[in-house]
């Protein structure tokens, strides 16, 4: 009994930190949860992904409410892009049951390394004076967000490219259980030229819907264990709320560094274990 309680508390504590990091960077927490459960606690990767998807839904619910109140999230962008990510998530969850766990781990690591590299080579935020994108104008995707100097308007660009990248993000979410926040943030930040803080907060709003689409398939296949998913979900949800309170005063450059260093370290471990067949 004591060992079970200790196991549960350790998972909850790790999930708290994962949720905080996920909330601050738009990752959704799953990017830390899956490696934590597989590498540290030796949980089968498919059960880890199932628990991660449940936690991603909790993270999205907790952080999205706080960010909407602060005025950061762009709801119209989120709802439009969610069409692509939901279709992708269903495709990814279908593939997950048909791939070896070692292959999933290696793909996980490669995606994270690419995300880390892209994060430390950011484009500058689009200035308010740039011309409006025609498609974004038709869909009314442009918006504004709070800064210390007041509200700052921005224009959304590269809508077709962003939509395509969101489908890929959805596939990765269903396959890897990470909420695909890393790809979503990079797609909005770089392809669509949405300010980084708006990208992270909109990503947090989107990942819950994406995760719910693929979580249903994992639940049907028996890969969601309530005893594992519950402490993960509670820890991540609490961490997400803490992260949401920290974000308004955080520096974007600091967020990028934390994001890239953390996931690069995790990526190397996942690839190493996957190649060695230890997952």
Whether the pTM exceeds 0.75: the reply is no
pLDDT tens readout for residues 21-45: 777 766 666 777 888 888 888 888 8
Burial class of residue 225, CB neighbours in 10 A (0-12, 13-18, 19+): middle
Confidence of residue 61 (pLDDT cuts 50, 70, 90): low
For 195-211, b where at least 16 C-beta lie within 10 A, e where not — what string?
A: bbbbbbbbbbbbbbbbb
pLDDT tens readout for residues 109-135: 887 787 777 666 655 444 443 566 788
- Closest Cα to residue 144, out of 63, 193, 74? 74
Is residue 62 pLDDT above 70, yes or no?
A: no
């Amino acid at each position: 009994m004591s060992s079970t309680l200790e196991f549960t508390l350790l998972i909850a504590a790790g999930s708290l930190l994962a949720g905080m990091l996920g909330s601050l960077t738009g990752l959704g927490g799953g990017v830390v949860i899956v490696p934590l459960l597989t590498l540290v606690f030796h949980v089968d990767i498919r059960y880890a992904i199932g628990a991660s998807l449940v936690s991603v839904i909790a993270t999205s619910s907790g952080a999205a409410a706080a960010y909407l109140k602060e005025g950061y999230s762009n709801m119209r962008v989120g709802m439009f892009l969610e069409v692509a990510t939901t279709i992708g998530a269903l495709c990814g969850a279908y593939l997950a049951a048909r791939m070896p766990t070692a292959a999933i781990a290696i793909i996980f690591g490669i995606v994270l390394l690419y995300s880390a590299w892209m994060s430390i080579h950011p484009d500058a935020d689009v200035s308010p004076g740039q011309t409006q994108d025609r498609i974004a104008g038709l869909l009314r995707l442009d918006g504004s967000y709070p800064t210390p100097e007041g509200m700052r308007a921005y224009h959304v660009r590269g809508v077709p490219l962003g939509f395509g990248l969101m489908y890929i993000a959805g596939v990765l979410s269903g396959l890897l259980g990470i909420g695909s926040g890393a790809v979503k943030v990079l797609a909005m930040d770089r392809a669509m030229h949405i300010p980084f803080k708006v990208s992270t907060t909109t990503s947090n709003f989107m990942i819950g819907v994406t995760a719910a689409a693929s979580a249903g398939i994992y639940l049907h296949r028996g890969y969601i264990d309530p005893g594992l998913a519950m402490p993960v979900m509670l820890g991540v949800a609490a961490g997400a709320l803490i992260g949401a309170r920290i974000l308004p005063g955080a520096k974007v450059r600091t967020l990028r560094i934390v994001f890239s260093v953390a996931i690069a370290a995790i990526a190397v471990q996942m690839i190493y274990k996957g190649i060695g067949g230890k997952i």
